[in-house]
Amino acid sequence: MITIALPKGALLTDSIKLFQKIGLDFSAFLDSSNRQLQITDPTNTAKAVLVRTHDVPVYVEYGQAQLGVVGYDVLLEKTPDVANLADLKFGVCRMSLAVREASSYRRPSELPPNGRVATKFVHCAKEYFRRLDLPVEIIPLYGSVELGPITGMSEAIVDLVSTGKTLKENGLIEIDILFNSTARLIAHPLSYRLNQDHLCDWVEKLRLQV
């Protein structure tokens, strides 16, 4: 029986819809009274574990789940050893560079020398500024990255933006896009190569849905 790692949060509803289309029902995870983190679908065909979006590639990399759904942003940030098999088209967002609207910065190159950039995506931000050959100090934060420029701790932030509402509410504007992101179907590379539990058939069925 295959196990699928599903991400908590923004991608969950669309992920569950996708698997329903190929006959696997994990909608019990959407029930607000549900406390189980591991369920089997009603036809007893596949299992699913419900984990943090950043943990999905960990479960797949260690072979604890053969398939997983995760944002492209997480794959770029963590570069896990997993097979990236399909763009699932949902969960559209972008990794953006944003500054205070009241500031004078309108292009990355206008940021002050060795300016500070707060972000949850340290690896992505470092790579971006390295390519621009722009030396900045990256401040790693866990949450509320928008507080960086508001408190004056950083000149800019690198963060995931979907509607742009949070930026607007905090008086921030985007001045560059690092990359666009969508949900991806990932697999444990060895299980996929060896076609364990007919994994390739499942992947093919999923690909036909997007």
Which residues from 64-123 bind a second copy, rule CB under 8 A? 64, 116
Residue 151 burial (10 A CB sphere; 0-12, 13-18, 19+): exposed
Q: Is 157 in the site for a second copy (CB under 8 A)?
A: no
Q: Which is nearer to a second copy, 116 or 184 (CB)?
A: 116
- Least distance from C-beta 7 to a second copy, angstroms? 11
Of 149, 108, 157, 107, nearest in space to 129 by CA: 108
Residue 134 burial (10 A CB sphere; 0-12, 13-18, 19+): middle
Q: Which is nearer to a second copy, 10 or 132 (CB)?
A: 10
Alpha carbon 194 to its chain's center = 27
Helix (H, G, I), strand (E, B) or coil at 91: coil
Of 147, 94, 79, 162, nearest in space to 116 by CA: 147
Contact stretch for a second copy (CB under 8 A) within 85-93, 103-111, 125-133, 147-155:
147-155
Q: Is 126 in the site for a second copy (CB under 8 A)?
A: no
Contact stretch for a second copy (CB under 8 A) within 24-32, 88-96, 150-158, 173-181:
150-158
Q: Is 150 in the site for a second copy (CB under 8 A)?
A: yes
Residue 60 falls in which region: left (phi positive, over 0), alpha (psi -120 to 50) or beta:
alpha
Distance CA 188, CA 196 (A): 10
> Which residues, at least 6 apart from 146, have a Cβ–Cβ distance to it below 8 Å?
157, 159, 166, 167, 170, 172
Among 55, 73, 155, 159, binds a second copy (CB under 8 A): 55
Q: Which is nearer to a second copy, 75 or 200 (CB)?
A: 75
Q: Is 34 in the site for a second copy (CB under 8 A)?
A: no
- Least distance from C-beta 209 to a second copy, angstroms? 26
Q: Which is nearer to a second copy, 33 or 133 (CB)?
A: 33
* Contact predicate 24/89, CB 8 Å: no
Q: Is 163 in the site for a second copy (CB under 8 A)?
A: no
Q: Is 160 in the site for a second copy (CB under 8 A)?
A: no
Site for a second copy, rule CB under 8 A: 3, 8, 37-38, 49, 51-52, 54-55, 58-59, 62, 64, 116, 139-144, 147, 150-153
